[in-house]
Structure 1
Amino acid sequence: MNESEKLQCKKVYKQTLLVLLIWILIFVGIFGYGMYWLFFDWSRFKQDLIAESTSPQGTYTVKAYVSDAGATTSYAVLGELIFNHEKRKSKKIYWQYRESEAYIKWSDDDTVSINGVTLNMPDETYDYRENE
């Protein structure tokens, strides 16, 4: 094999690796987005607003939604914390399976109870999947 053929083989090898790398990155990106959409995309779960309550000093608002994923699952209640005085993204704070109503009660400006689960705002959250 002469020098020209070696350079040609090297060039083809590099191009093949580049195309393979691009396909792997595309696959990982699509797979990653699919996992995010399936397990973490909050917007697809928020369906019907069933309750809303603002903290005594107006620092936070909690909105509760009921989600119905169809015939194979039960209802779920999802709680979202909204920051009224700060420009922060809303936060998921409550997720309970097999519920269809939400009772929200504030003890003080930083403590809220949703269906009997007490949370200190803004750091605590409740997810039935982690608390079973």
Structure 2
Amino acid sequence: MSNKNWKDPELREFKKIIHRKILFIVLAILLTVAVLISYIVYTHFYSMGHLPEGKWIQSSTSPNQQYKLNIYLVNKGGATVAYSIRGELLNVSSNKRKNIYWGYREQAANIIWKDNKHVSINNRVLDVRSDTYDWRRE
């Protein structure tokens, strides 16, 4: 009888350890899946870095020639999807490119440089050093 009492607490402690390990593994897997799904959703639906290329329609250069804004018309296909405009900024000195404009239901771009660092695209004024416009975030 004393042998049985000795094993029961040991067995209960062993089961607790196993349950904790299983719980930890399940939580780790769920967290990994959640992070992976969040990353995929962000990069494909919200990131300006993964926009479709489109067809070049016009360019405009800043007054000091430091920046060049290339405008692309994007048609993702299908009868239910409207045209979009993508504005890609090129820093001429560093040759770095970044998307600063993503407008939905637009087929043309009216570009007016306000000064060397501010541009108006379809009446939306952006500081090319830091601002972006993305219709999905309105």
Q: Give the letter for the 1:93 counterpart.
A: I
Which whole-Å CA distance do the structure 2 matches of 1:89 and 1:16 have between them? 47
Higher helix share: 2
1:99 to 1:56, Cα distance in 2 relative to 1, 3 A: same
Matching residue of 2:57: 50
Structure label with greater radius of gyration: 2
1:22 to 1:128, Cα distance in 2 relative to 1, 3 A: closer
1:20-77 C-alpha deviation (Å, 9 max, x unpaired): 1122112212220232133223323332232222212132222222222221210010
Unmatched runs of 5 consecutive residues or more in structure 2: 1-6
Matching residue of 1:21: 27
TM-score, normalised to structure 1, is: 0.75
Aligned residues with identical type, % of pairs: 30
RMSD over aligned Cα atoms: 2.7
- Aligned length in residues: 130
1:59-117 C-alpha deviation (Å, 9 max, x unpaired): 22222222222212100102133333468772x43222222223433232122232343
Unmatched runs of 5 consecutive residues or more in structure 1: none
Q: Does residue 69 in structure 1 map to residue 76 in structure 2?
A: yes
Which whole-Å CA distance do the structure 2 matches of 1:34 and 1:130 have between them? 17
1:129: how far off? Answer: 4.9
Contact persistence 1:65–1:78 (CA under 8 A):
yes
TM-score, normalised to structure 2, is: 0.73
Choose which of 3, 17, 37 in structure 1 pairs with 2:9: 3
1:16: how far off? Answer: 0.8
Matching residue of 1:113: 120
